[in-house]
Structure 1
Amino acid sequence: MKNRHKRIALIAGGLVALSLATALVLNAFQNNLVFFFTPTQVSAGEAPQERTFRVGGIVQADSVQRDGLTVQFIVTDNAKMVPVSYTGLLPDLFSEGKGVVAQGKLEPDGRFLAQEVLAKHDENYMPPEAQHALDEASKNILTASP
């Protein structure tokens, strides 16, 4: 009888430990999950206000302003624009008219406060999400024109 109770207690303890480990892993995964949004989606209010996310598109020409390590620029998908502020060193490939993905949070005033900025790797590469966003925005602009 005692062996049976020990075995049941051991199985129950194992299930509790497995459940706890699963809950911790899922919680950590959800906290580190970062979604991608286009400037059009951000302007439409689809992006989360309190969570970190990524916004990507093209750095608008003549929009980069530098003040020491703080850089402000505009990311566009050729339909809408999102002002971005970043403090730190930018990637060497960062420049106006090139693809960029910024990770951070949206401020209440609509400005995106980036914690990280990623630039495209070479002349032929653009993050797939950013390329899709640009294609969709261009398609929307063409269909909206009379």
Structure 2
Amino acid sequence: MTRKQKRLGLIGLAGLVLGSAVGLVLYGLSSSVTYFQSPSDIAEQQVAVGQRIRLGGLVEDDSVDKSRGSVVHFRVTDQAEAIPVAYKGILPDLFREGQGIIAEGYMDEKGVFIADTVLAKHDESYMPKEVYETLKEDGHWMEEEQAAAEQTSKVN
């Protein structure tokens, strides 16, 4: 073998090892990724009990119940479907009815989403992209209200 052939063989072997390492890392990460689901997606797919998912949508009006001890109950909606949620912990300061949120957790046997993390929007114009697209597709998105919210945030 010439030096050129040895060098090409070594480069090919290094590329194969590097490609295999990248493939293994991506495979390992794919099992720990939790994808965003809207209430309509969860209703359609019949998510398995105990499967970790991310639920996103709007906190339904008149659904927040803080009277049951340390567990807060509320409903998350995408204006088509609504999912009951139970969360034990301190809610974000920006959490309120009509607010866009993302909750991480799992579905229990009764169809209640047990959240262990709740994230609320950080300003007036934030909404998860998937929720925005779902609301717009379903005809529930009010562009005038969004424009007014953006204008208000620019003034402040």
TM-score, scaled relative to structure 1: 0.74
1:136 Cα offset (Å): 2.5
* Aligned alpha-carbon RMSD (Å): 3.0
* 3-state secondary structure, aligned to 1:97: coil
1:52 Cα offset (Å): 1.3
Separation in 2 of the partners of 1:128 and 1:15?
A: 37
Q: For the structure 1 residues 48 and 17, does the alpha-carbon distance in structure 2 shift closer, same or farther, using more than 3 Å as the test?
A: farther
Q: Does 1:65 align with 2:55?
A: no
4+ runs deviating over 3 angstroms: 14-24, 46-50
Q: Does 1:117 align with 2:102?
A: no
Q: For the structure 1 residues 118 and 78, does the alpha-carbon distance in structure 2 shift closer, same or farther, using more than 3 Å as the test?
A: same
Runs (5+) with no aligned partner, structure 2: 1-13, 141-156
Residue correspondence of structure 1 range 1-146 to structure 2 within 5 A:
21-22=21-22, 24-45=24-45, 47-66=47-66, 67-138=68-139
Q: What do residues 106-134 of structure 1 show as CA deviations (whole Å, max 9, x unaligned)?
A: 11221111121111111111111111122
Q: Is the 8 A contact 1:69 1:87 kept in 2?
A: yes
Q: For the structure 1 residues 47 and 137, does the alpha-carbon distance in structure 2 shift closer, same or farther, using more than 3 Å as the test?
A: farther
Q: What do residues 4-60 of structure 1 show as CA deviations (whole Å, max 9, x unaligned)?
A: xxxxxxxxxx89976875565234302221111111111112545443111111101
1:104 Cα offset (Å): 1.0
* 3-state secondary structure, aligned to 2:133: helix
TM-score, scaled relative to structure 2: 0.70
Count matched residues: 139
Runs (5+) with no aligned partner, structure 1: 1-13, 140-146
Q: For the structure 1 residues 49 and 21, does the alpha-carbon distance in structure 2 shift closer, same or farther, using more than 3 Å as the test?
A: farther
